[in-house]
Structure 1
């Protein structure tokens, strides 16, 4: 599932397992195939400037590339509150993302 369409994102928000860690809120569903998908949403209310939103998305994408092994699921990461953009670095995003993914509890996969 590509997380680019509003309909697919809404399905993930409605049916996915939800948990939070740090400034992130995670939504996850077991993947239909072995391919893992990750998407990021950042609210315009939290960050007015698109430069800041794009920087945070890039930091999350780089952190996602460093996660191994990746969970076999479709994941949506929402940044729920404004961070001091100047004080947040790649190491902190890596820590929040990896600890958040370890914290999850997914339901058994439906057959």
Structure 2
């Protein structure tokens, strides 16, 4: 029996950037899963998922009116668009890194 799920099976995400700051908003596919998402998708789990990017800090904002969680990762874009040698300087594809996270399934 599978004891974990992939976040992408239950949510979608949108990423953006401002300088060296990555923002990733996560939305449950089913509104009934928003409370589960709030409980399971913690800043600590996001930090573990993004450990290779070495963010200086991670803040989570709950946007209940949209049933969304917004994560702000400072220092996660290798210096930002004008300084990064990375292929995805804007961090747009990093929403998929978050969606690949394994979590306990919703009840």
Work out whether the TM-score is over 0.5: no
Say which structure is richer in helix: 1
More strand by share: 2
Q: TM-score range by the shorter chain?
A: 0.3 to 0.5
The TM-score with structure 1 as length reference comes to 0.36
TM-score normalised over the length of structure 2: 0.37
